[in-house]
Amino acid sequence: MKKLKNWDNKTWLSSKSYISQFNRFLKKKINLDKNSKILDIGCGRANIISALQKKYKFRNKPIGIDIVANKDVKKNIVFKKIGALKYLKKKEKYDLILIKQTIHFFSKSNLNHLLNLAKKSLNNKGKILIFSLKTNNNKIPCFEKMRKNLEKSLKRDEVLFKIIKKNLKEISYTNFNFKVNISKQKYLRMIKERYISCLLNMSNKEIKFGISEIKSKYKDQIKFTDTLKCISYRK
């Protein structure tokens, strides 16, 4: 699969309101202080952990890893261009390992390997927080081909959730909800830039046709709730 580069580039996922609301959600899940050590797997431009660093002034800057090195990755964190499996073999310890909208890029066997390494990389009472798109009744605005691809991806995610449950065993589930209010023009740009993985392998012709469909299907302002399923594991 092609590399996903634009999921957090000028989308609601990179907005101040989203980041602020997401980090308030994190605060309910784990107690953080200046001594906390954080690893963000699949960090993108590191918006989340950058905001955390600004707030808590961690003694050890949060570490963000990704196989894509964007030129505008936040500068107040430590970024490493490396795969998660390779990095976790370093056997460093963390209080929080964040895996946000990333699990669908792993095969079943590699996901198990990732989870095993992540568990070993937690400090005592450390947490793994896994976020992934809600699979049932997902509200993301789609054109027909995009919807089919997304539903196929979400069905695969359900299989991955079962692997996570079997591996981590004692886990809890909650949802993170964010109300999106975006102009149709901006959303069309996001589709053109293939902001979500279900668009990556589409042809330019399919994207162009899909944009026409979105233009006729939605009003000038698009409103919906973006919901992430949060899986929480504590050592």
| CA-to-CA dists, residue 132 to 93, 124, 140, 175, 210, angstroms | 24, 25, 13, 10, 24
Average pLDDT for 49-68:
97
pLDDT exceeds cutoff 90 at 42? yes
pLDDT, tens digit (0-9, with 9 covering 90-100), for 75-132: 999 999 999 999 999 889 999 999 999 999 999 999 999 999 999 999 999 999 999 9
Phi, psi torsion values for 191, nearest 5 degrees: -65, -45
Between CA 229 and CA 174 the distance in angstroms is: 6
The three-state secondary structure class of 51 is helix
pLDDT at residue number 175: 97
Fold observed for domain 12-183+225-234: Rossmann fold (3.40.50)
Q: What is the pTM of this model?
A: 0.94
Tokens matching residue 18:
């989203």
Among the listed residues 78, 59, 96, 68, the one whose alpha carbon sits nearest the alpha carbon of residue 8: 68
